């Protein structure tokens, strides 16, 4: 333990080493290497546990030092990064174990496990950095891993384009974040997080607001907040365990982490916090409505993730970054459980469409039981974890803005509704599928059980988490808790009532409100809007550039150089007649001309 | 001044020979004249500038030696060309072209 406490860099170095070994060993050692890959997240988790109460100072080093300035980089484990490390470590361990079963038939397992290890290293670098520079490097590396893993089955065109969409959309946010870093560098003269957070209260109001909003832009891109959320539903093209790890539990939560890390900057700007609060609130309700009608089990979970991240951002905007981190931890547990559960369902039922499932509880008892634990936690029913953290979020938002809180209550109602819509359609009722489902192997069910235990019990970890973050423990607010439980039960019961007899009632309902249904199914048309407002003009602009600049100017110039050389060459070849006396005369004439020039200039 | 006039004359004669004569050996001789004129110019300018006579003398001597070697190689080429193909006039040598 002291080894991990005094050497936090192991959390980055070991996964990198593991990734190299797995990548080099490749197909030869595949039976062993996939278990070897577990070493990477386990190390990360150990560093987190060792650093929970550690007092070890940061390990830092100067980078790119010249002319008196240098970039101070370093890593340190404090309460906030210890929490993130443990979340990453535990979820990634479960995902790697689960993947051994899930990816058993895949050709490129070595690439898969190496990428998971690289992702772990990048995520550890991101959460442990004491400098915004290395934080940003980790931030981009997790983005790159996300790109590579969404496009893991790159021969499938939809996966390749989803990967590109994810990369480009988060890039929009990252440009803002980079500008924010530049602004903070200009305002404080340093990119060290401690220096910036120390100087934040003294920043001019305009600077603080602009810096906070630019940082929030990066966070919104990474954490899929409206309107930069469009990449996350498409990101489900990747393998399901990847969705559980990267697109539910860890990477998409990095935006929440960033704002918690840079909290003093946000604390200095009331305006920026209001923007964060309302973007988060709107995202929460918006994504929840879309999740209610999706038919792809992973799309439901993707929109649910966007919605839950909206809850976290609402808490951040309300000033309760501790509550946001608490919800991040519990959400990581139950959402990765739900994703892995959906992976098990997909593995067993060979389809992702919930209309083709049904009655799976009989064939997949472990998956069904753990799924229900996750769904109840997501819906926020006590005493499971989601209830406590959602209560903390709602109480803090109610304190800041009752209007936003009432919107979030509506979002919780929808959350319970869609969670149990999927549960009853997938696990209960009559089977509508064509294939006979089977329970998944032990390496897939064991992580489900572990995560289910965590999802059920993490709610009681609220006080230790707040203490580790250096905050006052939240006191459960009974008024809020009562309303939220009522809302959750209402959503749960209405979903069960609507879907108890299969899809009949629901499809009649969707036919009656077909316009609304189509709007929700298309995610409120944000994708179509982005397509029309941004992508189509860019493609038209690029097409015009191709015709005018590429074909007309650049191609002409290059071809002109070629044909010009050929022409000159043919002309010059005629001079080379082979008559030596002509050569000699030309040399003499050239000499005389040169002498004339020299004399003329030297006059 | 006399040296410069002499140098220009020798160079001009050499150039004239190179440009007008058709026999390869004569052209070679013209080239040698031009080289000699350059050597005269070297010594003349060095003595104007007041350089050490011994140093300039040895440089000029080195140029002469190189010129002799070059002339030997050139003559050897001409002789072997004549032996091979019985050609000794430039208008007969048309292979050197682009």
More confident call, A584 vs A221:
A221
Which member of B19, B22, B27 has the closest CB to residue A588? B19
The pLDDT tens digits of the residues spanning A247-268 come to 888 888 899 999 998 888 888 8
User: Which segment of A23-27, A329-333, B19-23 scores lowest on mean pLDDT?
Assistant: A23-27
Can you tell me whether residue A237 is helix, strand or coil?
A: helix
Nearest Cα of chain B lies from the Cα of A562 at a distance, in angstroms, of 19
**Angle at the Cα of A476 from the Cα atoms of A472 and A478, rounded to 5 degrees:** 150
Asked if residues A91 and A147 have their Cβ atoms less than 8 Å apart, the reply is no
With bands split at pLDDT 50, 70 and 90, how would you rate the model's confidence at A119? very high
Q: What is the pLDDT of residue A234?
A: 87
Element (H, E) at A562: helix A556-575
* pLDDT, average across residues B9-24: 89
The pLDDT tens digits of the residues spanning A140-154 come to 999 999 999 998 888
The pLDDT tens digits of the residues spanning A3-18 come to 777 777 888 888 898 8
pTM of the model: 0.76
Chain B partners within 8 Å of A577 (Cβ): 94, 97
Asked if residues A78 and A130 have their Cβ atoms less than 8 Å apart, the reply is no
Name the DSSP letter for residue A436: P
Q: Which of B31, B81, B90 to mutate to test the interface with A (most CBs of A within 10 A)?
A: B90
d(CA A53, CA A563): 73
* pLDDT, average across residues A593-598: 93
Q: Is B89 on the interface with A (CB under 8 A)?
A: no
DSSP structure string for A526-560: HHHHHIIIIIHHHHHHHHHHIIIIIIIIIIHHHHH
Cβ contact, residue pair A579, B94, below 8 Å: yes
Q: What is the pLDDT of residue A30?
A: 57
The pLDDT tens digits of the residues spanning B24-81 come to 888 889 989 999 999 999 988 888 888 777 788 888 889 999 989 998 998 898 888 8
Q: What is the pLDDT of residue A361?
A: 76
User: Which segment of A118-132, A542-556, A570-584 scores lowest on mean pLDDT?
Assistant: A570-584
Residues of A with CB under 8 A from a CB of B: 572-573, 575-581, 584-585, 588
Chain A partners within 8 Å of B94 (Cβ): 577-579
Q: What is the pLDDT of residue A31?
A: 65
DSSP structure string for A397-432: HHHH-HHHHHHHHHHHHHHHHHHHHHHHHHHSS---
ipTM of model: 0.71
For residue A138 the two structure tokens come to 């980790």
Average pLDDT, whole number, for chain A? Answer: 84
Cβ contact, residue pair B98, A580, below 8 Å: no
Cβ contact, residue pair A580, B90, below 8 Å: yes
Chain A partners within 8 Å of B97 (Cβ): 576-578
User: Which segment of A65-79, A106-120, A368-382 scores lowest on mean pLDDT?
Assistant: A65-79
Cβ contact, residue pair B93, A588, below 8 Å: no
The pLDDT tens digits of the residues spanning A355-375 come to 777 777 778 888 888 988 999
At residue A66, does pLDDT exceed 70?
no
Q: Is B93 on the interface with A (CB under 8 A)?
A: yes
Q: What is the pLDDT of residue A28?
A: 67
Domain ranges of chain B: 2-93
At residue A63, does pLDDT exceed 80?
no
Which member of B15, B19, B98 has the closest CB to residue A573? B98
Inter-residue long-range contacts of A493-499, CB under 8 Å, 24+ positions, other chains counted: A494/A417, A495/A416, A495/A417, A495/A418, A495/A419, A495/A420, A495/A421, A495/A423, A495/A424, A496/A420, A496/A424, A498/A421, A499/A420, A499/A421, A499/A424, A499/A425, A499/A429
At residue B98, does pLDDT exceed 70?
no
Cβ contact, residue pair A585, B19, below 8 Å: yes
Q: What is the pLDDT of residue A566?
A: 93
Q: What is the pLDDT of residue A81?
A: 87
Q: Is B15 on the interface with A (CB under 8 A)?
A: yes
Chain A partners within 8 Å of B96 (Cβ): 576, 578, 580
* pLDDT, average across residues A192-208: 84
DSSP structure string for A271-310: HHHHHHHHHHHHHHHHHHHHHTT--BHHHHHHHHHHHHHH
* pLDDT, average across residues A456-461: 83
Cβ contact, residue pair B97, A585, below 8 Å: no
Which member of A573, A578, A588 has the closest CB to residue B96? A578
The pLDDT tens digits of the residues spanning A483-531 come to 888 888 888 888 888 777 767 777 777 777 777 777 777 777 777 888 8
Q: What is the pLDDT of residue A366?
A: 86
In chain B, the residue whose alpha carbon lies closest to the alpha carbon of A585 is B19
Domain ranges of chain A: 269-501, 530-602
For residue A94 the two structure tokens come to 């479960």
With bands split at pLDDT 50, 70 and 90, how would you rate the model's confidence at A467? confident
At residue A317, does pLDDT exceed 70?
yes
Fold designation for B2-93? Helix Hairpins (1.10.287)
Range 66-85 of B in CB contact (< 8 A) with A: none
């Amino acid at each position: 333990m002291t080894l991990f406490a005094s050497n936090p860099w192991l959390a980055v170095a070991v996964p990198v080493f593991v990734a190299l070994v797995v990548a080099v060993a490749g197909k030869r050692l595949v039976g062993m290497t996939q278990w070897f890959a577990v070493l990477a997240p386990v190390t990360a988790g150990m560093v987190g546990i060792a650093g929970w109460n550690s007092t070890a100072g940061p390990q830092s080093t100067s980078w790119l030092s010249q002319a008196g300035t240098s970039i101070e980089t370093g890593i340190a484990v404090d309460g906030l990064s210890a929490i993130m490390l443990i979340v990453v470590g535990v979820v990634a361990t479960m995902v790697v174990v689960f993947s051994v079963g899930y990816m058993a038939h895949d050709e490129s397992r070595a690439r898969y496990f190496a990428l998971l290890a690289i992702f772990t290293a990048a995520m550890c670098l991101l959460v442990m950095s004491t400098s915004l520079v290395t934080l940003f490097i980790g931030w981009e590396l997790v983005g790159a891993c996300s790109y590579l893993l969404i496009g893991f089955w790159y021969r499938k065109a939809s996966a390749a384009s989803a990967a590109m969409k994810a990369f480009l959309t988060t890039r929009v946010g990252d440009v803002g974040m980079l500008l924010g870093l530049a602004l903070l560098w200009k305002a404080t003269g340093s990119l060290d997080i401690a220096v910036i957070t120390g100087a934040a209260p003294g920043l001019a109001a305009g600077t603080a607001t602009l810096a906070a909003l630019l940082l929030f832009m990066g966070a919104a891109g990474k954490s899929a907040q409206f309107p930069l959320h469009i990449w996350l539903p498409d990101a489900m093209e990747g393998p399901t365990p990847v969705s559980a790890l990267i697109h539910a539990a860890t990477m998409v939560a990095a935006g929440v982490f960033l704002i918690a890390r840079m909290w003093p900057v946000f604390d200095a700007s009331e305006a920026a916090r209001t923007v964060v609060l309302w973007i988060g609130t709107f995202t929460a309700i918006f994504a929840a409505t879309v999740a209610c009608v999706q038919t792809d089990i992973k799309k439901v979970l993707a929109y649910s993730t966007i919605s839950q991240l909206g809850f976290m951002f609402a808490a951040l905007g309300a000033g309760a970054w501790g509550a946001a981190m608490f919800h991040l931890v519990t959400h990581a547990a139950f959402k990765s459980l739900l994703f892995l559960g959906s992976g098990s369902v997909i593995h067993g039922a060979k389809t992702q469409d919930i209309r083709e499932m049904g009655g799976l509880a009989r064939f997949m008892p472990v998956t069904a039981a753990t799924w229900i634990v996750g769904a109840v936690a997501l819906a926020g029913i006590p005493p499971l974890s989601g209830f406590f953290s959602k209560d903390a979020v709602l109480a803090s938002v109610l304190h800041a803005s009752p209007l936003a809180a009432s919107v979030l209550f509506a979002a919780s109602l929808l959350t319970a509704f869609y969670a149990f819509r999927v549960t009853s359609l997938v696990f209960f009722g009559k089977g509508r599928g064509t294939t006979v489902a089977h329970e998944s192997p032990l390496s897939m069910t064991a992580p489900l059980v572990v995560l289910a235990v965590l999802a059920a019990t993490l709610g009681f970890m609220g006080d230790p988490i707040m203490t580790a973050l250096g905050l006052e423990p939240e006191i459960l607010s009974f008024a809020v808790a009562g309303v939220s439980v009522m809302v959750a039960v209402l959503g749960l019961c209405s979903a069960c009532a609507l879907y108890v007899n299969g899809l009949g009632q629901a499809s009649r309902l969707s036919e009656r409100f077909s316009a609304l249904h189509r709007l929700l199914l298309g995610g409120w048309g944000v994708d179509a809007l982005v397509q029309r407002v941004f992508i189509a003009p860019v493609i038209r602009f690029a097409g015009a550039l191709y015709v005018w600049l590429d074909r007309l100017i650049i191609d002409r110039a290059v071809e002109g150089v070629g044909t010009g050389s050929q022409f000159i060459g043919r002309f010059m070849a005629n001079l080379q007649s082979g008559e030596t006396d002509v050569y000699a005369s030309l040399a003499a004439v050239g000499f005389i001309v040169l002498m004339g020039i020299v004399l003329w200039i030297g006059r | 001044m006399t040296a410069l006039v002499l140098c220009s004359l020798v160079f001009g004669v050499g150039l004239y020979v190179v440009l007008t004569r058709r026999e390869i050996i004569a052209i070679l001789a013209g080239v040698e004249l031009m080289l000699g004129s350059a050597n005269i110019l070297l010594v003349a300018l060095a003595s104007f500038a007041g350089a050490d006579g011994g140093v300039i003398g040895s440089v000029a001597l080195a140029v002469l030696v190189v010129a002799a070697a070059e002339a030997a190689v050139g003559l050897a080429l001409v002789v072997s060309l004549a032996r091979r193909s019985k050609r000794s006039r430039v208008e007969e040598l048309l292979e050197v072209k682009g």
